[in-house]
Amino acid sequence: MPYLCKLSDALWDPVLLILFLAVGGYYTLRSGFFQLRVGTWLRGTVGAPRPARPTAGLTQLQALCTALASTIGTGSIAGVATAIFFGGPGAVLWMWVSALVGMMTSFAEKALAIRYRERTPQGFQGGPMCYMSSGLCKLGSVLAVLFSLACIPASLTGGALVQSNSIALSLEAAFGLPARWVGLGTAVAAGWVIFGGIDRVGRLSQRLVPAMAGLFLAGGGLCLFVLRARLPAALGAIWQGAFRPQAAFGGYSVGLALRYGVARGVFTNEAGLGTSAIAHAANGAATPAREGMWGIFEVAVSTLLICSVTALVILASGVYDPQTALAAIAGGHVPAELLGAPLSARAFGTVLGPLGPALVAVCLLLFAFTSLLGWSCYGERALRWLKGSDRSAKGFRWLFLFFVFLGGAGEVGAVWQLADLFNGLMALPNLTALLLLSPEVLPLVPKRSRRPI
């Protein structure tokens, strides 16, 4: 759909590209590049004593896994392939850059989510709507409304349509299952979890996320070991594609690499969107500074680790050809097998044979399924904030499941453009709020000290 592409591009290039990098860069500079003090934030997260189980809300592990469930989604497999196809290999470098500065954006979101969360009879709740409206008074209330109005369609497109679409395409390519039936099956399974509320989502995420991440990293690590001789060439293509794409690949440009790299990085780690802060706010045992460090950890795992494995396997395997991609883009018709999950499946298949597409299909099924569960909670929370009650929650859940079913028959290009559009509309008020609330966040960044965190 050309008009979707134009709308999305107009929003992202250059306003949001600059804003994402500027906010992350500002927090990075003002914090003294805290995200590079890896030992400090690792000691404050995975190296810290496990907190006692809270009397209300999710546990630390459940909150983290719910947030990771929405970030380690199709963007980690299909999204990376799409970014390389449309933006060239250089998109990977800009994805890394956006993740590096996005670590501090994520720190700010999670810290503010805990600082301004609210206690309800069902447990804790919070997120951008709360830290905007409570921290910025009248302007914050306007920003919170804008964020919520964008979050609802973002959950239906990027959360339901994108995830279900990628599941359907992957299972159709790997096992020949009809996409519409896959969409229906996904909707039924998701409905069982979603109607159990965020507690059931948290418990399921706690079980699935570590297992699915380990499975994918094991398969990807084996592929990279076999393809290790080609890795220098792949890294060289990433560097050239980021700064000299026309000389290296012809029709690609720095602007395309930057646009798709940052957009896809944001979609995978959600730093700057504010959505995953909704899951972190439900953690009943959190403190602002420590939850902020878990935000850094989240971006490192979802983008710098998992997405990097996908990108390097695609580029080292040789299944991606720049000239073929450019010709398809210029012709206005992109075959499904050239981008998204099918491209990633072909890349893994060069090393693992028939097991490659099967591995990608299974991982994508798990990634996308847990991701859409997280997004259902985000959209429902935004609607609940707008309405001031949970009377519309059941209706939203049914609408979300209908979009999950529709995703099985959607066009992948149009779906991704919709996701980018609504993500951008959601990011604008959130990034504005993060800049205005920086005086409250920066004092929470741990200072250099030998004392335990």
User: Is the pLDDT higher at 270 or at 108?
Assistant: 108
Question: Is residue 52 a part of any domain in this protein?
Answer: no
User: Is the pLDDT higher at 19 or at 244?
Assistant: 19
Tens digits of residue pLDDT in 112-152: 999 998 877 666 788 899 999 999 988 989 999 999 999 99
Whole-number mean pLDDT of the chain? 84
Question: Is residue 286 a part of any domain in this protein?
Answer: yes
Tens digits of residue pLDDT in 268-309: 777 888 888 888 888 776 789 988 999 999 899 888 999 999
The string over 297-320, giving b where at least 16 C-beta atoms fall within 10 Å of a residue's C-beta and e elsewhere, is bbbbbbbbbbbbbbbbbbbbbebb
User: Is the pLDDT higher at 236 or at 50?
Assistant: 236
- CATH number of domain containing 22: 1.20.1740
In this prediction, residue 244 carries a pLDDT of 79
- List the alpha helices (DSSP H) in 227-337: 231-243, 245-249, 254-269, 276-281, 288-299, 308-317, 322-331
In this prediction, residue 232 carries a pLDDT of 95
With a cut of 70, say whether residue 92 has pLDDT above it.
Answer: yes
Kindly state the average pLDDT of the residues 214-227: 94
Kindly state the average pLDDT of the residues 329-334: 78
SS3 content of the chain, % helix, strand, coil (to 5): 80, 0, 20
Question: Is residue 329 a part of any domain in this protein?
Answer: no
Question: Is residue 433 a part of any domain in this protein?
Answer: yes
Give percent of the chain with pLDDT exceeding 70: 91
127, 291 contact by CB (below 8 A): no
In this prediction, residue 453 carries a pLDDT of 45
In this prediction, residue 451 carries a pLDDT of 46
In this prediction, residue 200 carries a pLDDT of 81
With a cut of 60, say whether residue 1 has pLDDT above it.
Answer: no
With a cut of 50, say whether residue 450 has pLDDT above it.
Answer: no
Quote the DSSP letter at residue 58: B
> What Å distances lie between residue 156 and 202, 395, 433, CA to CA?
20, 13, 24
Q: Which amino acid is at 435?
A: L
With a cut of 80, say whether residue 5 has pLDDT above it.
Answer: no
Nearest partner of 122 among 281, 262, 331, judged by Cα: 281
Q: Which amino acid is at 280?
A: H
Question: Is residue 446 a part of any domain in this protein?
Answer: no
In this prediction, residue 285 carries a pLDDT of 65
With a cut of 70, say whether residue 263 has pLDDT above it.
Answer: yes
For residues 386 and 129, give the distance between their C-alpha atoms in angstroms, rounded to a whole number: 9
Tens digits of residue pLDDT in 50-87: 666 665 556 767 777 777 776 776 778 878 888 898 88
In this prediction, residue 53 carries a pLDDT of 62
Q: Could you list the residue range(s) of the whole structural domain that residue 190 is in?
A: 2-46+57-324+334-441
In this prediction, residue 398 carries a pLDDT of 94
Structurally, the chain folds into a number of domains equal to 1
Question: Is residue 452 a part of any domain in this protein?
Answer: no
Question: Is residue 158 a part of any domain in this protein?
Answer: yes
With a cut of 90, say whether residue 29 has pLDDT above it.
Answer: yes
Tens digits of residue pLDDT in 342-395: 888 899 999 999 899 888 888 888 888 888 888 888 999 899 888 887 778 889
In this prediction, residue 436 carries a pLDDT of 95
In this prediction, residue 452 carries a pLDDT of 42
Give 388's contacts (C-beta < 8 A, 6+ positions apart).
none
Question: Is residue 106 a part of any domain in this protein?
Answer: yes
* pTM passes above 0.85: yes
Task: Among 179-188, 206-215, 395-404, name the most confident range.
Answer: 395-404
